[in-house]
Structure 1
Amino acid sequence: MAQFAFHHGGVSVPSLDEAIDWYGRVLGFELEKRFYIEAAKSHTAMIRKGALRFEIFEVEGAAPLPEDRRHPPRDVQTHGNKHVAFRVGDLDAFLVEMADKQADIALVVREAFGKGCFIRDCAGNLIEFVEEP
């Protein structure tokens, strides 16, 4: 079987500059590079935090994020990619930090199978954070 490893996730946003700022200020990502993808008519940025990469697209004429995509329980009711998830060491400390940074916390999960949360980026895209036992 072919060997592979995770490279990056990606989101589409209405404002590339606003998203670069948000991902830097709230989650600590740094701009790696900016470029234009002619085939997609997309002003694009690759941001990085350590080994993690995230690609952000500002596509000319893109439609806004549908309301159902902003709510985790409703989002999974439609087929397709849903979100990326990152591991955190201490969910409660992470939630305090996100509240201090005025991040939009969409859902907190504390179940027997595990705990985590979803936040929304500046465009409403869902991002999950999981604390593993």
Structure 2
Amino acid sequence: MADFTFHHGGVSVPSLEQAIEWYGTLLGFTVEHRFYIEAARSHTAMLRKGPLRFEIFEVEGAAPLPDERRYPPRDVQTHGNKHVAFQVADLDSFLAEMEQKGADIAMVVRESFGRGCFIRDCAGNLIEFVEGVA
């Protein structure tokens, strides 16, 4: 079987500049490089935080994120990609930091199967953070 590793996740946003600022301020990502994808008519940036990469697309004429994609339990009712998830050491500390920074917290999960949360980026895209799972 072919060997591979994870490279990046990606989201579409209405404003690349606003997203770069949001991902930098709230999550500590920096711009690795910027480019234009002619076929998609997309101003694009690859953001990086340590080994993590996240690709942000500002596509000319793109439709806004539908409301049902903004809440995790409704989002999974539609087929397709859902979200990316990052691991945090301590959920409560992470939530306190996100609240202090004004993050839009969509949902907090504290269940026997695990703990985590979803936040919405500046365009409403869901990002999951899970506590200490292997």
Deviation, 1:16, is 0.1
Please list every run of 5 or more consecutive structure 1 residues that lacks an aligned counterpart in the other structure: none
Alignment partners' CA distance in 1, 2:102 and 2:110: 21
2:98 counterpart letter in structure 1 = M
> Percent identity among equivalent residues?
79
Q: Which residue of 1 aligns with 2:2?
A: 2
| 1:5 CA displacement | 0.1
- 1:73 and 2:96 aligned: no
Q: How does 1:28-67 map to 2 (within 5 A)?
A: 28-67=28-67
Equivalent position of 2:23 in the other structure: 23
**What residue in structure 1 maps to residue 102 of structure 2?**
102
For the residues of structure 2 that align with 1:113 and 1:71, how far apart are their CA atoms? Answer: 20
Aligned residues: 133
Q: Secondary structure at the match of 2:62?
A: coil
Partner amino acid for 2:100? D
Partner of 1:115: 115
- The separation in 2 between residues aligned to 1:63 and 1:126, in whole angstroms, is 17
Distance 2:131 2:54 in 1: 20
Give the RMSD, CA atoms, in angstroms.
0.6
TM-score, length-scaled by structure 2: 0.98
Offset of residue 127 of structure 1? 0.1
Runs of 4+ in 1 over 3 A off after TM superposition: none
Code of the aligned partner of 2:46: M
Deviation at 1:132, TM superposition (A): 2.4
One-letter identity of the residue aligned with 1:17? E
Structure 2 gap segments, 5+ residues each: none
Using the alignment, how far apart are the partners of 1:6 and 1:128 within structure 2?
16
